[in-house]
Structure 1
Amino acid sequence: MTTTTPDRTRPAPARPRPDGQHFRPTVIAVATASLMLPFSVTGAAVALPSMASQLGASVGGAQWMLNAFNIGFAALPLAAGGVADRYGRRRVLLGGIILVGTMSLLVALAPSMAVVDAARALQGCGAAAVLAAGAAVLAHGTSGPRRRLAFGILGTSFGTGLAAGPPLAGALVEGLGWRSVFLLVAAISLPAGLCATRAPESRTPRAPGAGRPPGDLAGPVLFTAGLAALAFGFARATTDGWAAPAPLGLFAGAVLLVLLFAAVELRRGDRALFDVRLFGRPEFLAAVCQPFTVTLGFVVLLVYLPTYLQGTAGRSTLDSGLLLLPLTAPVLLLPLVAGWLADRTSVRAVLTAASSLIALGALLLTTLDDGASWAGLALPLLPFGAGVGLAFGVMDDAAVGTVPVERAGAAAGIFNTLRITGESVAVAGAAALLTSLTAARLRAGGLGGATAADLAGRAVVQGQVDPGRRDAVAAGFTGALHTAGLLLAVLSTVGALLTWRALRPGSRP
C-alpha cells in the first residue's frame, strides 16, 4: 500500500494558531491514525491465508477482504476532504478514526468472511476520512518549523506502517492468531481518538450571508460505482474467464460509469471535486500517470508475495513478513534522499531513475523460485523497493509542478486519488491475472478447468496449496509471477521514457 503526500500548496485563511499545548496531541493523533492505514493493508495481506483457512472462505470471499477496503479508500478521499473543509476537519478525522477502529474490532470478532468483507468496506471509508482530514488538521493546526516537523513525523509514520507491517503481522499471526492483527489496529485507534479530541477545530470560512455550496454527490457515487464494477469484473474474470459475458459486461459498465463521472465533473467546472479539465495538459497527464508505473508492481508484491511465500514456498507467516523487508525498508528510508537528489539534479532525473530501478527489479523477478533464499529474494526486491522509495519522495512535486500555482490544490487532489485508485485496481487485477496464468499452466499439465481454477485461486488469494499437487501449483504460480515481472518491466520502462520526455525543461509553466 502506498500513501499520499498532503497538499500544502493551497493558501489557508487567516486563523489563530493553537498554542503549544495543542501541538503534541495534534501530531500524535494524526501520526498514530495514519499509522493504521498502511498496516490495515499490509497486515491484512499477511493475515489473509490464516484467516481464509479458519473461516472456510471461498476464493471470492477472501479476495473481497482486500477489494472492499480498497474501493472505499480509493473512492472517497476527495469527498471526505470536501466534507472536512465544510463541517470541520477535526470532526471528520475523529469520525474516521472511530470507524477504522470499530470496524477493525468487528473484523477481529467476525464469525464469517461475509462479516469481514462488510466491515472492511466500512473500514476503507474511515481510512479515506483519516487520509483526507489528517493532513488538513496538521496544516491548519501548526505553523513554521513546527509544521515541517509535524509533516516529517507524518511521513515517517506512513513509512513505518509500510516497512514494519509485514513482519509485525507475521509475528502476531504466529504467536496470537490472525485476529490479533485487527485487534492491534483497534487498540491503536484509542490513543489516536483521544488525542484527536484535543486537536484544534478548523473549517473553510464562508462569506457572511452565503449559503453552503451545493455538494457534489453524483461525482463520488459514479466514481465509486465505476471502481466497484471494475473490481467485480476482475473477480468474475478469475472464475469465469476474461472473455465471459459477465466480466466483459462489468468492464463495459465500469468504463461507462467513469465517463459519466468525467462528464458530471466537467459540467460542475470550478465547483467539481475532481477537476477533469487539468487532463488537457499533456505534461500533467504524464505526471499523474506516474503512480501507475510506480505503485502497480509494489502493491502486487506487497499483497501477493505473502500468499506465495506461505502457501507455495511453505514459509512461516513470520518468515514471509521478514522476507518483504528488502521491498519495504527502502520506502521508509529513501524519500528524504530523493528530495535531496532532486534539489541537486531534477525531479525529472529522479523519477526516471526510479522507474528504471523498478523495471530492473521487475525483470529480476523472472529469477524467482519457490525455494529462493533470502538473498535470492532480495535480489529483485531491493531495486524494486529503492525505485518506489525514490519516487515517493518527488512524485507529488512533479504533479503539482506541471500546472499553474493556482491550480496546484486541484492537481494534488487528482494525483492522490489516482494513486490510491491505481493501488485498488492493482490488487483486484493482479489476483485475476495471477490466478488465470497459474490455472492455464495447471490445465496445460492435464488438470480439468474447474479444478485448475480452484487450485490456482486458493494458491494466489488464500495461500493454500493441496499437498498432493504442490509441485504443479508451485510451478504454475512461479511462472505467473515471472510473466507478471516481464509485464511490469515493460510498463516501468515505458513509464521511464514518458517521464523523461514529459518533464523535460520548458514543459512546466
Structure 2
Amino acid sequence: MTLPLTVTGPAVALSDMAADLGSSVAAAQWVQNAYGVTFAACLLAAGGLADRFGRRRVLLTGLALFCLMSLVCTVATSMLLVDVARAVQGVGAAGVLTSGAAILAASFQGPARAQAFGVLGGSFGCGLALGPLTAGALVSAGSWRAVFAINVVVGIVVLALARFIPESRNPVASRVDWGGAATFSGSLGLLALMFVEGPARGWLTPAALGSLAGAVALMVAFVLVELRVEHPMFDLSLFRRPTFIVVVCQPFTITFGFVVLLVYLPPYFQGVGGHSATEAGALLLPLTVPVFLVPLVAGRIAARIPLRVMLAASSALIAVGSLWLMTLQPDASWTNLAGPLLVFGVGVGSAFGVMDNAAVSVAPVERAGMASGIFNTMRITGESVAIAGAAALLASLTLRDLDDRAPSLSGNARDLAGEATQGRIDGALDSVPAGQRQYALDAAAHGLTSAMHTAFLLLAGLALLGAITTYAVIRDREFDDAAETAPETAEAAAAAGGGTAEPDPAGA
C-alpha cells in the first residue's frame, strides 16, 4: 500500500513542493523520475538477492531503507536532496515489492495463490485509491512534507509486523548478476534523462541525442551480458515462449495509462482547472476506488474464466475509458469525469493481482524471485517510461499549440508549457505582462487540454493492441502445466538439500 502511495502522493504535492523549494521544472520532474528509474532498475537484482539470501531479509532491508529515505524527504530543504533521497527510496521499494511477491508465491499454491495475489492487487489499489485524496488533504491541511511523513509511520508498523514472516529462499540460487544490473540501470536512467532534456532544451540538442544514444548502447550491452553470463538475472531464453512475453508485457497496456492519469491529471485539475489539491484528489476517486475494490473479486473471477479473456477484457475497458476521456475540459465537473474514469478504473482493477499471479505461475516456485523480478521490472519500467515520456509529450504538444495559437507569447511559451504540465501555471503567468495574462492562461489551457486528448488517443490505441494480442497469443494450458509441475519441483528442491520455507537461524 505504501509503494503506490509514493507515486500518487508526490504527484499531488509536487506543485506546493516545487514552489516551497524554489525548484525548476526539470528538477521537479526528477522527484518522480528518480524514484521510478531506480525502482525499475533494481527489481531484477532484488529478486536475485531475495532468492539467494532470503526473501524476508531483503524485505526488511528494503523497508528500512524506504522509511529512512521517506524521513529524509520529510525534512529536506532543497529539491536536489529530495531527488537523491527519492532515487535511494526506489532501491528500497524494489526490495520490498520483489521479495513480498516471492514470499506470497512460495507460501500459496493453486486457487489460494490467486486469492493471495488478489489481496496484493487490492492493497496496491488501496494505496492508489487513497493516494491522491490523502495527499491532497495532507497538503491542504498541513504541508507537502506530510505526504512523505505518513510513509515513515506506515513503514515502521510494517517493519514491526514483517519480522514474523517465515524466511524462504531458493536453495540453488546463484550469485547476483551485477553486470546486468549496472547496464540496465544506466540505460533506463539515460532514457529518463532524454525525456527531461528534450522538452527543456530541444529534442535535437546534444544532451537529448547523447542520452538516447547512451540508453540504446547500454541496452545492447545489457542483452550481450545476459547472453554470456552463466546465471543471468534476466533469463532471455524465457522470451522464446509467446505466452511469457505477453504476460510480462501486460503492464505496458494495463498500468501504462493508469500511471499517466494518476500523475498528470492532478496537476491539470490544479493548474488550468483551478482546483485545490484536495479537490483534485477527489476528482480521481472514480478512477482509483475501482482499483481498490475490483482486485478483491478479480482473483475469484479469474479462477472461473480463461486468463486471456480476463486480461483482454481489462485492456478493452481501458481503451474505452481512454477514448471517452477525450471529452476532458478544464471546467469539467465530477459528473462529467465519473463515467470515463470509472470504466478506466474497472479495467485496471480487474487486471491487478491477476497479472502478478500469472507472472509467477509460469515459472517454478523456487524461481519465484526471478519471475517476480522480471514481471515487476517490466511493470515499473513501463511506469517510469510513462511518467517521463508523458511529461515530454504533454510539454512538447502544449508548446507547439502555443506557438501556433498565440505567437505573441513566443518568449514565454516554453515556460508556460512546462509549468502548465506540472500544475504551476500561476508561476509562469507572473512573467507575462499583466494585460496578456488571461489570454496566456486560456491559450495554455487549450494547448494542454489538446495535448491530453492526444495522449488519451495514444493510450486507447496501445490498450486496444494489448487486448487483441493478449487474446490471440496467451495459452492458458501453459499456466496449468506450471501448476502441475510445481509439486514435483518442490520435491526435487527438498531432495537437493533445501526448501522454499526453511527457518532462518540468524533471525534476521
TM-score by length of 2: 0.86
Q: CA deviation at 1:267?
A: 1.4
Q: Deviations over 1:404-427 (max 9, x none)?
A: 899876544322211111001100
How far is 1:449 from its partner?
Answer: 4.9
Conserved in 2, the CA contact under 8 Å of 1:163 and 1:331? yes
Shift of 1:113: 0.5
Choose from 14, 18, 29 the match for 1:52: 18
> Could you list the runs of 5+ residues in structure 2 that have no partner in the other structure?
430-436, 482-508
How many Å separate the matches in 2 of 1:115 and 1:301?
A: 27
Pick aligned residue for 2:232 from 272, 277, 280:
272
Q: Deviations over 1:291-323 (max 9, x none)?
A: 111111100000011100011101010010111
Alignment-derived partner of residue 442 in structure 1: 402
Quick one: distance in 2 between partners of 1:281 and 1:474? 46
Give, in angstroms, the shift of residue 149 of structure 1.
7.8
- Verify: 1:492 aligned to 2:463, yes or no: yes
Residue 181 of structure 1 aligns with which residue? 147
* 1:225-284 Cα shifts (integer Å, max 9, x gaps): 000000001011111233333212211221221121111112125x11111112222333
Q: How big is the shift at 1:435? A: 0.5
- 1:18 match: none
- The residue correspondences of 1:421-460 to structure 2 (distance < 5 A) are 421-444=381-404, 445-447=406-408, 449=410, 451-460=412-421
Counterpart residue identity of residue 187, structure 2:
G
Residue 72 of structure 2 corresponds to 106
Q: More displaced, 144-153 or 52-61? A: 144-153
How far, CA to CA, are the matches of 2:364 and 2:30 in structure 1?
40
Q: Which residue of the other structure, out of 255, 259, 264, is the alignment partner of 1:304?
A: 264
Is 1:316–2:309 an aligned residue pair?
Answer: no
Q: Pick closer, same or farther for the CA change 1:95–1:408 going to 2, 3 Å.
A: closer
Q: 1:77-476 maps to which residues of 2 (within 5 A)?
A: 77-137=43-103, 153-205=119-171, 213-269=174-230, 271-399=231-359, 410-444=370-404, 445-447=406-408, 449=410, 451-465=412-426, 466-467=428-429, 468=437, 469-476=440-447
Name the amino acid aligned to 1:258: M
Structure-2 separation of matches of 1:108 and 1:418: 29
Offset of residue 325 of structure 1: 0.9
Amino acid at match of 1:365: L
Match of 1:68 in 2: 34
Distance in 1 between the 2:234 and 2:2 partners?
26
Shift of 1:87: 2.8
- Matching residue of 1:7: none
1:436 CA drift (Å): 0.4
How far apart are the structure 2 equivalents of 1:135 and 1:443?
48
Match of 1:181, as an amino acid? Answer: V
Paired amino acid for 1:119: A
The 1:152–1:298 alpha-carbon spacing in structure 2 relative to 1, beyond 3 Å, is closer
Question: Does structure 2 retain, via aligned residues, the 8 Å contact 1:52–1:462?
Answer: no
Alpha-carbon distance in 2 for matches of 1:149, 1:335: 9
Tell me, in whole angstroms, the C-alpha distance in 1 between the residues paired with 2:362 and 2:101: 22
In the other structure, the counterpart of 2:6 is 40
How many angstroms apart in 2 are the aligned matches of 1:420 and 1:135?
14
Deviations 1:455-480 (A, max 9, x none): 11111124333452221111111111
Q: Report if the CA contact (8 A) 1:334-1:393 is conserved.
A: no
Supply the distance in 2 between the matched residues of 1:494 and 1:152 (Cα, whole angstroms): 25
1:503 aligns with 2:474: yes
Q: Is the 8 A contact 1:278 1:411 kept in 2?
A: no
Distance in 1, matches of 2:117 and 2:22, equals 42
Structure 1: tracts of 5 or more residues without a match: 1-34, 207-211
Tell me, what secondary structure is at the counterpart of 1:312? coil
3-state SS, counterpart of residue 242 of structure 1: coil
In structure 1, the residue corresponding to 2:352 is in which secondary structure? helix
Task: Rate the CA distance shift 1:433–1:297 in 2: closer, same or farther, 3 A.
Answer: same
Q: Which residue of 2 aligns with 1:26?
A: none
Q: Retained in 1: the 8 A contact 2:48–2:370?
A: no
Structure 1 counterpart of 2:77, which letter?
P
Contact 2:170–2:366 at 8 Å: present in 1 too? no
Work out the percentage of aligned pairs sharing the same amino acid. 54
AA paired with 1:491? Answer: L
How many pairs are equivalent? 469
Give 1:8's aligned residue.
Answer: none
Task: Please give the alpha-carbon distance, in whole angstroms, between the structure 2 residues aligned to 1:419 and 1:109.
Answer: 30
Counterpart of 2:72, as a letter, is: L
Secondary structure in 2 aligned to 1:344? coil
Which deviates the most, 184-193 or 218-227?
Answer: 184-193
Is the 8 Å Cα contact of residues 284 and 403 (structure 1) preserved in structure 2? no
Moved more, 254-263 or 411-420: 411-420
1:483 to 423, 431, 454: 454
Aligned mates of 2:155, 2:317 — CA distance in 1: 36
CA contact (8 A) 2:394 2:421 kept: yes
| 8 Å CA contact 1:71, 1:124 repeated in 2 | yes
CA distance in 1: counterparts of 2:94 and 2:411, whole angstroms? 38
Q: Could you give the per-residue CA deviations for residues 170-220 of structure 1, whole angstroms, max 9, x where no partner exists? A: 1000001111111111122222223334444444446xxxxx944311000
Contact residue 62 and residue 462 of structure 1 kept, 8 A: no
One-letter code aligned to 2:452: L
Q: Cα 1:397–1:100, aligned 2, differ >3 Å: closer, same or farther?
A: closer
* Alignment CA distance shift 1:133-1:505 (3 Å): closer
TM-score, structure 1 normalization:
0.85
- CA shift, 1:108, in A, is 1.2
Go from structure 1 to structure 2 and tell me whether the alpha carbon gap of 1:155 and 1:221 turns closer, same or farther (over 3 Å shift): same
The answer on whether the counterparts of 1:81 and 1:129 sit within 8 Å (CA) in structure 2 is yes
